[in-house]
Amino acid sequence: MKRLIRACSSTIGKKFVIAITGLLLCGFLVVHLAGNLLLYVGPQAYNDYARSLHEQGALLVVAEIGLLGLFLIHLFLALGIARDNWAARKTRYAVKVSKIKNRQSGIKPENFMVVSGLIVLGFLLLHLADMRFAMRPDIDYAAFADDEAARTMAVLATPLTRVVYTVGCLLLGLHLAHGFSSAFQSLGLNHPRYASLIHWIGVIFAAVIAVGFVSFPFVYFFS
């Protein structure tokens, strides 16, 4: 146990745990998006899905606590590495050179992973307040007690909400675009022969997740 704690205290160990928790959270996003896509099948399909989740009772609570733990570990370690990196710099570089071969420096996802991650955290807290804890003062949640689909779309109905959710989901996609391939690199699985393939799989995955979630406040209403 001491060896494990010591290994996880190193930068390499922290990056390894960040990679594992990040990929597990990616798996959750896939499941969450798949469930939400039932909105396109029809309200009844989505309501049946939501009801089946709620019927899990204690298991659902345990899963939610587990997801919270994964997210907090991921965030805490990422912030720790960012803090260590800033502390190690004597001066800030005028030009930042990308570590990725054949890429020029500039505005890239890897340059602001912490910033995008913190913004996504804020978006997640808003999403939980809207959907999980029913805290929107402009929504009569009681009126949708037996209709999860209607409640979900009522939350997403306002123009401001559409803008906020669009920005939040796009930033999530931006975070994933680099984070996915970076996770494989941290796990030692990013062989030069497959680096480009992993990179593009990450980009496609990020685009699918972002566009999938962004679609609900728009396409569902106008279909």
Domain boundaries, given as residue ranges, for the chain: 2-222
User: For residue 147, which phi and psi values (nearest 5 degrees)?
Assistant: -140, 85
* CATH code that applies to domain 2-222: 1.20.1300
- Residue at token pair 């593009």: 200
- Looking at residue 7, its pLDDT comes to 58
Residue among 104, 112, 124, 95 at smallest CA distance from 28: 124
- Looking at residue 51, its pLDDT comes to 92
Tokens of 201: 């799989």
Tokens of 42: 């029809």
- Looking at residue 222, its pLDDT comes to 62
pLDDT profile of the chain (223 residues), mean per 10? 64 90 96 94 94 90 93 91 76 49 48 85 92 90 90 88 92 92 88 87 96 86 60
Q: How far apart are CA 138 and CA 63, in angstroms?
A: 29
CA dihedral 183, 186, 189, 190 (to 10 degrees): 80
- Looking at residue 218, its pLDDT comes to 82
- Looking at residue 81, its pLDDT comes to 87
From first CA to last CA, the distance across the chain in angstroms is 55
